[in-house]
Chains A and B, each alone.
Chain A
Amino acid sequence: MARPATTYSRGLPALALATVAALAAALALVFFYAPLDADQGFVQKIFYIHVPLAIVSLCGFVLGGIFGIWQLRTGERKWDMRSYVAIHMSLIFGIAALIAGSIWAKASWGHWWEWSDPTLVSFLIVLLLFATYQPLRFSIEEPERQARYASVFAIVAGAFVPMNFVVVRLSQGFVHPRVLTLTGGRLPGSMQLTFAVSLIAIALLFTTLWKFELSAKNTRMQLRAARRALLGDDAVRPLGRSAAPS
């Protein structure tokens, strides 16, 4: 059997370095290169953090669903673990995006929360749905069933993400024009470049953290297996109640 721990940690240092470089470049561009917004001034720069965080976390949720499909097709636990870590990371990124968005909303619209922005509302609904992923895992004890049910949830919720955005957008009755299209269609070139670099940096950060957590979890599992083999079953305490694959 190949040592699976190495597959996750392979390339991790290089990836981490690339992430640091990309983040530094993104921040440098945000603060020194991108022009100040004519209306909103300095506070608009939070857009370069907020929007990439939101996009990456939504992609992570959908990715969790895709890994879930593979878990159901192959029945291999590694896909469940990838799906779990992707959703777990996306939740953290999503909450960060929501907080950043709230700050931006307070500064530019005067309110911490704005119901008339469909993207914001859709994002909240998606986050509320995925927040139930861990409670669901927590309350299933049998590992094999936990993996299967979590994957089913990840697939259904992953498919829900785009549908939810369409419906919430329609519910606003087309009266609110989009200020910032996701492709940055109406942004000046320098802002587009900064945005693209920020997006890449945040995506790299997500990948690094995802790989790091996978590698850490894998190592811990191997360590437990090794201890069990060497010292006997009694030497290894059972894991406390945990939502993580074990």
Chain B
Amino acid sequence: MRSVLAILRKDLLLELRTFETLPAMVLFSIVTFVIFHFALNRGSLAGQLAAGILTATLLFAAMLAINRLFVAEREQGGFDAFLLAPVDRSVLLLAKAAALFVFLVVLEVFALPAFALLLLGPSLARSLGGLVVLLALTDVALAVIGTLVSAIAVQTRARDLIGPIIALPLLIPALIALARGASPLLSGHGRTFPQGHWLAILGLYDLVFALLAYAVFDFLLED
């Protein structure tokens, strides 16, 4: 656990000192909202359309972080140093997934108000709690699958291409749950909390992929 925190601290400190990934993700999401405004030619959105645009924007902003997650380790010999350290290899999975989760939460702290301000018609005030739960569960799925795919893609020749094309289909079930679960929350007069089965799907998806990633991650570090 201490080594997980050490790596997590290293990643967050690196981000705080360079400000490389997070501002790019936030900017990317805001620009995407602007593009959607023009592409759809709509001043305000609600319901399924709003949920879909939020989902797609967060996904593509997340892909930026997923692509960069292991680049420093690969280019500056962090993998070798980690393999030399007398710690369990799944420590790296846990730490990197936690770092990605933190990135996604920070992204949403900025992107969600921007979305509410720029595009969303109905007020978020009533359903914010439900949306936060839904987003948190989706972030776990994005973090776990993102870490796993990133660890695979970083060792390939065309890592910027391989990462997204593997991650997108793997994430579709989680994104279905987010988009469909968030739709009534963003319609203004509907439910204030997502339907239980979307939360159950996301929870199950998180659990299965966390176990799966834990089982196979060791083999991605062998050398």
Interface residues of A (CB under 8 A from B): 72, 125-126, 128-129, 132, 135-136, 139-141, 145, 148-149, 151-153, 155-157, 159-160, 163-164, 167-168, 170-171
Contact with A along B186-223 (1 / 0, CB 8 A): 00000000000100010011001100110110011010
Q: Could you list some 19 contacts between A and B, CB below 8 A?
A: A72-B216, A125-B172, A132-B162, A132-B166, A132-B169, A136-B156, A139-B159, A140-B155, A140-B157, A149-B152, A149-B155, A151-B219, A156-B209, A159-B212, A163-B173, A163-B208, A167-B173, A167-B201, A167-B205
Distance in angstroms from B206 CB to nearest chain A CB is 11
Residues on the A chain within 8 Å of B165, using CB:
132, 135
Q: By the criterion CB–CB under 8 Å, are A148 and B157 in contact? A: no
Interface of A is mostly: helix
Interface: B180 (CB within 8 A): yes
Q: For the complex, what is the distance from the CA of A135 to the CA of B152, rounded to whole Å?
A: 12
Which residues of A lie under 8 Å from residue B161 when comparing CB positions?
A: 135, 139
Interface pair A155/B216, CB less than 8 Å apart:
yes
Contacts of B168 in A (CB 8 A): 128
Known A136-B166, A151-B219, A170-B201; 9 more pairs at CB < 8 Å = A125-B172, A132-B169, A135-B165, A149-B155, A153-B166, A156-B170, A156-B216, A157-B170, A167-B176
Query: How near does chain B come to A136, taking the closest CB pair, in angstroms?
Result: 6
Task: Decide yes or no whether B97 CB sits under 8 A from chain A.
Answer: no
Residues in chain B near residue A170, CB distance under 8 A: 197, 201
B149 to chain A, nearest CB (A): 9
Q: List the 10 shortest-distance A-B pairs measured between CB atoms, nearest first.
A: A129-B169, A167-B173, A139-B156, A139-B157, A139-B158, A128-B169, A152-B216, A132-B165, A171-B176, A132-B166
The complex places the Cα of A159 from the Cα of B204 at a distance, in Å, of 13
Verify A156–B220 contact, CB threshold 8 A: no
Cα distance, A132 to B152, chains bound together (Å): 12
Task: Judge whether B169 and A140 touch: CB under 8 Å.
Answer: no
Q: Which residues of A contact B173 (CB under 8 A)?
A: 163-164, 167-168
Q: Which residues of A contact B220 (CB under 8 A)?
A: 148-149, 152
In Å, the complex CA distance between A217 and B204 comes to 40
- In the bound complex, how far is the Cα of B215 from the Cα of A151, in angstroms? 12
| Size bin of chain B's contact surface | 20 to 34
CB atoms of A139 and B162 under 8 A apart: yes
Is A148 within 8 A of B222, CB to CB?
yes
Cα separation A106 to B176 with both chains bound (whole Å) = 26
Chain B residue with Cβ nearest A68: B216
Q: How far is the CB of B103 from chain A (nearest CB, A)?
A: 22
- Pick the contact of A129: B166, B215, B219 (CB < 8 A): B166
With CB as the reference atom, state the residue of chain B lying closest to A71: B219
Question: Does any Cβ of A come within 8 Å of B177's Cβ?
Answer: yes
A141/B157 contact (C-beta < 8 A), A125-B169, A132-B165 known: yes
Residue pair A164, B172 in contact (C-beta under 8 Å): yes
Q: Is B107 part of the contact surface with A, judged by Cβ < 8 Å?
A: no
CB distance from B198 to the nearest CB of A (A): 9
Considering the chains assembled together, what is the distance between the CA atoms of A128 and B167 in angstroms?
A: 11
List the B side residues contacting A72 at CB < 8 Å: 216, 219
Whole-angstrom distance between the Cβ of B124 and the nearest chain A Cβ: 24
In the complex, which residues of chain A have a beta carbon less than 8 angstroms from the beta carbon of B209? Answer: 156
CA distance A168 to B220 in the complex (A): 30
B152 contacts which of A128, A152, A160 (Cβ < 8 Å)?
Answer: A152
Given the known interface contacts A132-B165, A132-B166, A148-B222, the answer about A155 and B212 at a Cβ–Cβ threshold of 8 Å is: yes
Closest A residue to B145 by beta carbon equals A156
Interfacial chain A residues near B216, Cβ < 8 Å: 72, 152, 155-156
The answer, yes or no, to whether B148 is at the interface (CB within 8 Å) is: yes
| Cα–Cα, bound, A160→B166 (Å) | 12
In the complex, what distance in Å separates the CA atom of A152 from the CA atom of B156? 14
A155→B208 CA distance, assembly (Å) = 13
Closest A residue to B166 by beta carbon equals: A132
Question: Within the complex, what minimum Cβ distance (angstroms) separates B223 from chain A?
Answer: 8
